[in-house]
Amino acid sequence: MTPSRRRLLLAAATTLALTGAGAGAAHADPPPDAPEQIDNGDFSAGVSPWFSYGTGALAVTDGRLCTTVPGGLANPWDAGIGQDGVPLIAGAEYTLGFTVSATPGAAVKAVLQLGSAPYTTYAAVDATATGTAQRVEQTFTVPDDNPGAQLIFQVGGAAETQTVCLDDVSLRGGEPPEPYEPDTGPRVRVNQVGYLPGGPKNATVVTEATEPLPWQLRSAAGTVLASGTTTARGVDAASGQNVHTADFSGYRTPGSGLTLTVDGDTSHPFDISGTLYDRLRADSLQFFYAQRSGIAIDGHLIGDEYTRPAGHLGVAPNQGDTTVPCQPGVCDYSLDVRGGWYDAGDHGKYVVNGGIATYQLLSTFERTRTAVTAAGGVGLADGTLRVPEHDNGVPDILDEARWELEFLLRMQVPAGKPLAGMAHHKIHDRNWTGLPLAPHDDPQPRELHPPSTAATLNLAATAAQCARLYAPYDAAFAARCGTTATTAYAAAKAHPAVYASPSDSTGGGAYDDTNVTDEFYWAAVELYLTTGGQAYLTDLTASPHHSGDVFAPQEFGWQGTAALGRLDLATVPNGLPAAELTRIRASVTGAADAYLAELRRQAYGLPMPGDESSYFWGANSNIINNAVVLVTAFDLTRDATYRDGAVQAMDYLLGRNALNISYVTGWGEHAAENQHSRIFGHQLDPNLPRPPAGSLAGGANAALQDPFAAQLLAGCKPMFCYVDDINSYATNEVAINWNSALAWIASFLADQGDAGAVPATTCAIRYTNYGAWHGGSGFTAQLTVRNTGATTVNGWTMRFAFTGDQRVREAWLAKVTQAGATVTARNESYNARIGPGGTVTFGFNATTTGGANPNPGLVTVNGAACSLT
């Protein structure tokens, strides 16, 4: 608000000073320099962080926060405008002031209260609001401490519909906050979970020393197991600390409760084990079940404290996701958009964020078909995860991804409507809601927001993935996905520049994006990989991203998706010419080389630069996404240097950082546990759970885009711009696209065992497709394996995976079975032996309904990968 407008408003306002008997005992006003406890009380920064319930949309009109309140509500508290995270100190004096008007006129009550049951009132101020703005102030003493109280303006209960406006909301008093000093624990920073026996083992030491220091690795009993000297690294730009690094990779013996001692300080304990990450794969994926919308959460699967009824199915007070109208003026229909995952700490569901999250779960599964260390998907098989659909014959990760896919498909504009085939950008509450709030208790109306080209291309890409990956398990669902994908892609091409509004951020995030060339590339790649269609190949090769650099240090995320297409072209079997495929794969290894170089430059060992711009909202997921590129380079080359870089990148997230905190709930000696979430609100309400184990916090964010962090962390060095508090949504929120990255890398880590030396290949495969039968309903193929090792193979089992709905009908010269997409061939009695240099051949006939049918990209013999010739 401009100063001149503020003077005009206050000159026209009537001032009511409520003191004395009508407002309790009189108090002296807090001193002039008393701190302000309300954020954005003049609404100069827009609506945030204010929320409402039972009202129309909040909007800033002529500098005031205004909304419409329906008439006939039974109680004053049936509609409200509020702010969370208001700090109160017991015994301190405060002055609450606000300017209010209501047309035609209504009672308004301002209540400072506990923000969850039993909603204890600390102070209340009554006002009769009229069409003339009036200033209301009251001074009082607060009876209780509460670092995160709630201020609510109760505006319900009037007989007629009201337009209520607030301005200059202020709560002055209390004590200035103590300078925030994070508890960083020991100066020796390690991966608090531990290290793989054959993998890299590095630590960072905060010290004033400038010369190398001795280090000692000790057992849980205190025995010295290894020793050496540190490397001085000088002042680390991201943390502002003078640091050393210690490398104890040479010690490979498994053990638990180990510590590292340097410069008179001892690290948190950690393990060395080849099974460190087995549970993290399941934990990181269980997050998605806990975030599900439209289904009751079964505590027997993930813990009794997480039991809750289904949210947003129209059971009061929910208004439901089964018949959701558009925002006014957007469309003339309603859609059933139940299901899916709540995106983050709010109850919104967003196609662009759901797109990359779903892609990464599907990619985690697809890697089991293309990477030898994925062990054919044993760790992701049916019955391995805690989902209600387990033991249904479908890999559990596909069951979880389908919950979101079904939602994404429902977001498509129906045939016959304007923009038919496109996808609505998002669906969420009309207004922001407060913390905490269980999904089934959300009273806000839900609205569909306009379609966007970005959302439509996310739908096309993930639905195309769905079409090829679900074909062996549910042909009808796969076909539905394929139809949706082609329809969405065509709609996006017909409407290539329909962008989400950056100002559409009331009740949910905007997720705006005005450059969708990357989404066009990604969608064309996925459709090409699934269908083999020439039109999609033409589109993807014409894209500037096909030959451009798609692996910038910070751009692999929901708003930068070209990397997804590049990674899949490099790994998923396809029909690209050999020279083109070589170029694509070289771009991946080239990017991985750059990330390795950056990792070595960083004293905390992460593959991301140390400048402020690299520490942004959700940067923890981008660190992992850079590690995904390293993993892909390893899968392509079998060069352990890339694998070790990806393994080391996880050290930062699990404790080797300036704050000495693991950003993954439940993992590490000192782990985050108060992530920003309406569902997991334990910090505000002890009756609610903390985020489940395996939930990733967004991480250090130098932009400090929430008021809580901005006040607490002003002036922070980038790596220190984080606080484990539920009120800091810009540094400590959970989100599905962050946990999807964690799940991808956790699955890789769980598959690495002790991360020892990569064995050399001892076999070579030639796969020959003799072409389609007449009518295109099937094909005939043959595989020849050559023993390139020095010893005789006596008995062999060969495995590979198709990329779609291909099914082996009959085979010769081997016993062949198929489970899902995976084909297993075992020797006959007469061809079990393959001597050095010798070969064996078998063939088969297979059926298919069409689509791409490339040669498999991974064939193993007795569990070992073979080279392809």
Cα 837 to chain centroid, rounded: 49
Rounded to whole angstroms, the Cα distance separating 565 from 524 reads: 8
Q: Pick from 87, 90, 91, 96: which is nearest to 177 by CA?
A: 87
Active site residue 555: no
CB 350 within 8 A of CB 553: no
For 496, left (φ over 0), alpha (ψ -120 to 50), or beta? alpha
Residue carrying the six token digits 């391995």: 384
Strand 793-794 vs strand 797-801: parallel, antiparallel, or unpaired? Answer: unpaired
346 is catalytic: yes
b or e along 696-735 (b: 16 or more beta carbons within 10 Å of the residue's beta carbon)?
bbbbbbbbbebbbbebbbeebbbbbbbbbbbbbbbbbbbb
- Asked if 192 and 114 count as a contact pair (C-beta separation under 8 A), the reply is no
Which two structure tokens, joined as six digits, stand for 426?
């998002």
Q: What are phi and psi of 108, to 5 degrees?
A: -130, 135
- Catalytically annotated residue among 442, 733, 751, 805: 733
**Do residues 191 and 651 make contact, with C-beta atoms less than 8 angstroms apart?**
yes
Name the active-site residue from 676, 706, 725, 805: 676
Q: How far is CA 551 from CA 560, 562, 651, 725, in A?
A: 9, 8, 22, 32
Q: How far is CA 686 from CA 118, 682, 683, in A?
A: 12, 5, 6
User: Residue 597: is it exposed, middle or buried by C-beta count within 10 angstroms (0-12/13-18/19+)?
Assistant: exposed
Give Cα separations from 165 to 68, 130, 752 (angstroms).
Answer: 9, 10, 59
Q: Is 534 left (phi over 0), alpha (psi -120 to 50) or beta?
A: alpha
Residue 312 gets the label, from left (phi > 0), alpha (psi -120 to 50) or beta, of left
On the 0-12 / 13-18 / 19+ scale of CB atoms within 10 A, 625 is buried
Instruction: State the CB neighbour count (10 A cutoff) for residue 315.
Output: 12
**H or E element in which residue 845 lies:** strand 839-847
Q: DSSP 3-state assignment of 286?
A: helix
**DSSP letter string over 167-218?**
EEEEEEES-PPPPP------SEE--SSEE-TTS--EEEEE-S--S--EEEEE
Shortest CA distance to 40 belongs to which of 144, 161, 168? 168
| Alpha helices per DSSP H over 470-615 | 475-494, 517-531, 534-542, 544-547, 562-571, 578-601
Name the active-site residue from 137, 236, 724, 751: 724
Token pair for 651: 């050290």
Q: How many helices (H) and strands (E) does the chain have?
A: 17, 40
813 within 8 A of 842, measured Cβ to Cβ: yes
**Catalytic: 676?**
yes
For residue 134, give the 3-state DSSP assignment.
Answer: strand
* CB 524, CB 565: distance < 8 Å: yes
User: Do residues 848 and 777 touch, judged by C-beta distance below 8 A?
Assistant: yes
Could you tell me which residues are beta bridge partners of residue 217? 226, 260
Q: Which amino acid appears at position 829 of this protein? A: S
- CA atoms of 521 and 523, how far apart (whole Å): 6
Q: Please tell me which residue in 346, 539, 598, 805 is annotated as part of the active site.
A: 346
Please check whether residue 156 is in contact with residue 688, taking contact to mean a CB–CB distance below 8 angstroms.
no
Place of tokens 């249904």: 392
What are the C-alpha distances in Å from 180 to residues 174, 176, 184, 457, 729?
17, 11, 12, 44, 18
Pairing of strands 867-868, 763-772: parallel
Active-site residue numbers?
Answer: 346, 676, 724, 733
